[in-house]
Amino acid sequence: YQMVGMNRALDSGIETVFLMAEAQHQAIASKLVKEIARLGGDVSRFVTPAVKEALGGQMPSQAKDQ
């Protein structure tokens, strides 16, 4: 959506079209993965097993504390 705003600022005649990829091919920001892990959610579909293990050791869940 930032691209739409920038394109319009550069030239109001530019039309921007987005084509969404299937979920398994989309990128996800690391801060979103960290937030999911912090809240006790399952991040296994977003990261490799090694990353999931590392997040589990560094990101204590607030959900478990409540």
Alpha carbons 19 and 37: distance in angstroms, whole number = 29
Q: What is the DSSP letter of 22?
A: P
Alpha carbons 20 and 6: distance in angstroms, whole number = 19
What integer pLDDT is reported at residue 66 of this predicted model?
45
pTM, full prediction: 0.55
CA dist 59 → 27, 32, 47 (Å): 21, 13, 15
Q: Where are the domains of the chain?
A: 23-66
Q: Is 37 exposed, middle or buried (0-12, 13-18, 19+ CB in 10 A)?
A: buried
- pLDDT mean values, one per 10 residues, the chain (66 residues): 90 91 87 91 90 74 47
What integer pLDDT is reported at residue 56 of this predicted model?
77
